[in-house]
Chains A and B, each alone.
Chain A
């Protein structure tokens, strides 16, 4: 058993490896950590690289894969890559849920049999409030996509991001009624705070977190390996490096062991308590 596997078993290290599939996006959300938008550089991981990371993560003892962006489904290879990645580990993909036309839905059919789940963002039960943060017609597209994905047999989760207290009890109740009505159970709905990085920092949104407050999930991007998916953020067009672990990502054991060393050197924290997993 690798030292990584032992640390995951012991709860010292989280069991998920994240990948930034890309940085470009069809949306430009107000709180985006990576300043993603249609015109930004793609900075995409190659599909072979994503499969390599998944294979090595499985060999090291990691338990699942998270894929985020940017909007990963802008990458036309993604459905096939997800099929290959999920051969090694269960895979969660974060998506804005707005690109699932008939063609893309057909490409997702093979994933219904795979351990792949899609986590779609929806920030308010009110279309106007949601769309103000996430773009025109976002609410309608998401509400349309979720049942169609579920009809294919694809597992769908829902993520709600916002400032603490933004959602009233009534908002929360209506949001939960909405996702239950769409077939998404409570355990697959997460509410998470905005982290003050990237565009959120420019807009004065979100909360500051010290590294020891952020789960030590290994995150691979085209720029290197980072402490958590909150690491490889972008501000003013420049990559943030404060949570950079190493520029080298292959073999995966190299950044994984450096991260383990960093985690073992930090005092016990309350990273699970801030609810940004």
Chain B
């Protein structure tokens, strides 16, 4: 396994664009602000309400509950975010992965603090992580060994959804990193309680 940079949790930075608030949220986005300030991704996407209008259902369908188990989805999101060095997503999804039942060493290996090959023993999950690495880091066709391992352990629909999930996570990783979205205080607190971050 190739090593990748370790992503830490840094102090909150100032976002590059205005974060919408319940007072400034455009009409089409207002439901997302009904219970107060939403997460920063939601709040910046609200800058473009017509995009928000289609993006949020898509993101919800892709990252939210589906026929692909919660644990698998969090493996995908955390691993992809770690590969893309997205501090916001790594922090937020380390907490989400804890809630999905992943173990401490599993989290550390997905965050590239340990070798995942030494931590994950299940052949389907090993094939999955190799697939994530190939999709998120690759620039051409996936090598046959990795592809065959993935399709031998996962049904076609799962391969499709997982691959879309990797791509969507990459898009969000770049959004959060490019716009310097800040990790919330509650997430920082949770990370510290779980032994991660500053």
Residue ranges of A at the interface with B (Cβ–Cβ < 8 Å): 211, 227, 240-248, 254-255, 258, 262
The CA-CA distance from A242 to B29 in the complex, in Å, is 9
* Chain B residues closer than 8 Å to A244, beta-carbon distance: 26-27, 49
Name the residue on A nearest B53 (C-beta). A258
Q: How large is the interface on B (under 10, 10 to 19, 20 to 34, 35 or more residues)?
A: 10 to 19
Of B24, B27, B48, B53, chain A has the most CB atoms within 10 Å of the CB of B27
User: Is B156 interfacial (CB 8 A cutoff)?
Assistant: no
Which residue of the partner chain, among B20, B25, B27, contacts A245 with CB atoms under 8 Å?
A: B27
Contacts of B25 in A (CB 8 A): 241-242
Of chain B, the residue at the smallest CB distance from A227 is B27
Q: How far is the CA of A243 from the CA of B25 in the complex (A)?
A: 8
Q: Are A211 and B27 also in contact (CB < 8 A) when A244-B49, A247-B50 are?
A: yes
Residue among B23, B26, B48 facing the most chain A CB atoms (10 A cut-off): B26
CB of B11, distance to nearest CB on chain A (Å): 27
How long is the Cα–Cα vector from A240 to B25 in the complex, in angstroms?
9
Q: Which of A247, A248, A254, A262 contacts B27 (CB 8 A)?
A: A262
CB-CB < 8 A to B53: which residues of A? 258
User: Does B28 reach chain A (CB closer than 8 Å)?
Assistant: yes
- In the assembled complex, how far is the CB of residue A25 from the closest CB belonging to chain B, in whole angstroms? 24
Residues of A within 8 A of B47 (CB): 241, 247
Chain B neighbourhood of A227, CB < 8 A: 27
Q: Are A243 and B27 neighbours in the complex by a CB distance under 8 Å? A: yes
Contact A242 B26 (CB under 8 A): yes
How far apart are B37's CB and chain A's nearest CB, in angstroms? 15
Main secondary structure of the interface of B (DSSP, over half): loop
Residues 53-81 of chain B: 1 if any A CB is under 8 Å from the residue's CB, otherwise 0?
Answer: 10000000000000000000000000000
**Cα distance A165–B92 when bound, in Å?**
55
Expressed in whole angstroms, the Cα–Cα distance for A255 and B48 within the complex equals 12
Contact of A240 among B24, B28, B49, B50 (CB under 8 A): B24
Max chain B C-beta neighbours (<10 A), residue from A227, A242, A245, A255:
A242
| A246 proximity list for chain B (CB < 8 A) | 28, 48-50
Name the interface residues of B100-138: CB closer than 8 Å to any CB of A.
none
Assembly CA distance A246 to B28 (angstroms): 8
New contact pairs (18) apart from A211-B27, A258-B50, CB-CB < 8 Å:
A227-B27, A240-B24, A241-B25, A241-B26, A242-B24, A242-B25, A242-B26, A243-B26, A243-B27, A244-B26, A244-B27, A244-B49, A245-B28, A246-B50, A247-B48, A254-B50, A262-B27, A262-B28
Residues of A within 8 A of B48 (CB): 246-247
B49 to chain A, nearest CB (A): 6
What's the Cα separation between A147 and B26 when bound, in Å?
Answer: 43
Q: How far is it, in angstroms, between the C-alpha of A95 and the C-alpha of B27 when the chains are bound?
A: 29
Quick check: B49 and A245 within 8 Å, CB to CB? yes
- Sort A-B residue pairs by CB-CB distance and give the 9 closest, nearest first: A244-B26, A246-B50, A241-B24, A241-B26, A247-B48, A248-B50, A262-B27, A246-B49, A242-B24
A147: shortest Cβ distance to chain B, in Å?
43
Can you offer 11 A-B residue contacts whose CB atoms are under 8 A?
A: A242-B24, A242-B25, A243-B26, A244-B26, A245-B26, A245-B50, A247-B50, A248-B50, A258-B49, A258-B50, A262-B27
> Please, which residues of chain A bring their CB within 8 A of the CB of B28?
245-246, 258, 262
**How far is B49's CA from A243's CA once the two chains are assembled, in angstroms?**
11
| B23 neighbours in A (Cβ, 8 Å) | 242
CA distance A254 to B27 in the complex (A): 15
Nearest chain B CB to A28's CB is how many angstroms away? 25
Please report the C-alpha to C-alpha distance between residue A258 and residue B25 in the assembled complex, in whole angstroms: 16
Task: Please indicate the chain A residues that have their CB under 8 angstroms from the CB of B27 in the complex.
Answer: 211, 227, 242-245, 262
- Give the interface centre of A242, A244, A254, A262 by most chain B CB atoms within 10 Å: A244
The distance in angstroms between the C-alpha atoms of A247 and B49, with both chains bound, is 7
Q: Nearest residue in B to A261 (C-beta to C-beta)?
A: B28
Nearest A residue to B20 via CB reads: A241
Q: How far is the CA of A234 from the CA of B78 in the complex (A)?
A: 41
How far apart sit A254 and B50, CA to CA, in the bound complex (Å)?
A: 9
Q: A262 — nearest CB in chain B belongs to which residue? A: B27
**A262 vs chain B, min Cβ distance (A):** 6
CB-defined contacts of A243 to chain B, threshold 8 Å: 26-27
